[in-house]
Amino acid sequence: MTALGRTRSVAFIVAWRGIHNAFTNPAFLLPSVLFPLFFFIAFAGGLSGLQRVPDFDYESGYTSFQFAFVCIQAAAFGGVFTGFAIAADFEFGFARRLLLAAPNRGGIIIGYMVSAMVRATFVLAVVFLAGLISGMQIDGSIGDFAALLVLALCVSAVSTLWAAGIAMRMRTMQAGPVMQMPVFVLLFLAPVYVPLNLVDGWVHAVARFNPATAFLEAARGFVSGEPDKVGITAACLVGMFALTVLWARGGLRSAERAG
């Protein structure tokens, strides 16, 4: 079997195991579903009065405005939850056995990334259904929503690579806050509650250069049927993907040295 074939085999095994565990064990799946649903209900319902603020110029409504945020947030935290699973695999010994048995260890990271993307797709479908039930206004076309899904899956991949790098370096569930907090801070220093033009103070200065801002504005553009910041978003994703690939590869090497 060629090196590419071995990589595919390892990736398939790891991905299938992650997907199977997620959809057969509620303890793995429920947090990644309930977390974004909680934010969606809390923000879209409790803060809907913000759409009457002067200069709030998002015509699709506040529910759609927050749906776009929750899509990005769910994808990002889905990657973090996958990092938790990787750390648990090290604590219980499975990951070490996998490192010894796998002929091409790069496929391990690919497998975890694929499983995270499958879970993210499911979570986004649940959130979309919740949005429809709550009366979310849909202005984007099928193509726009397909682009939104691609954006979310790219965010999921980057987040998974980040979390995998941490998990493989620390190899313990105690690494959870280290994986989660940077992603949490990055998201909430973006214009979550109102458009960027209504954000004031130092948060506005940070949000202008925060890549999560580009992700949110692109997502909201797709939901409203008026794509925006697509080029900037693509450039940010390419750069972040390249950096997190190197980061995850370094984590894998650290795990290999540790045995």
The Cα 227–Cα 65 span in angstroms is 14
Using one digit for the tens of pLDDT, what is the confidence trace for 36-47? 888 888 887 777
| In the block, residue with structure tokens 């540790």 | 258
CB 108 within 8 A of CB 98: yes
Using one digit for the tens of pLDDT, what is the confidence trace for 199-246? 888 999 999 999 999 999 999 999 999 988 899 999 999 999 999 999
The Cα 189–Cα 182 span in angstroms is 11
Residue 57 has pLDDT above 70, yes or no: yes
Nearest to 107 by CA among 116, 98, 118: 98
| pTM beyond cutoff 0.85 | yes
Provide the pLDDT for residue 168.
93
Per-residue pLDDT band at 255 (split at 50, 70, 90): confident
DSSP secondary structure, 77-94, as one string: HHHHHHHHHHHHHHHTTH
Rg (CA), the chain: 19
Total residues found in the chain within this entry: 259
Provide the pLDDT for residue 102.
67
- The arithmetic mean of pLDDT across residues 129-145, rounded, is 88
Provide the pLDDT for residue 248.
94
pLDDT above 70 covers a percentage of the chain that reads: 97
Provide the pLDDT for residue 108.
87
CB 168 within 8 A of CB 252: yes
Per-residue pLDDT band at 249 (split at 50, 70, 90): very high
Using one digit for the tens of pLDDT, what is the confidence trace for 60-77? 888 899 999 999 999 999
Provide the pLDDT for residue 1.
55
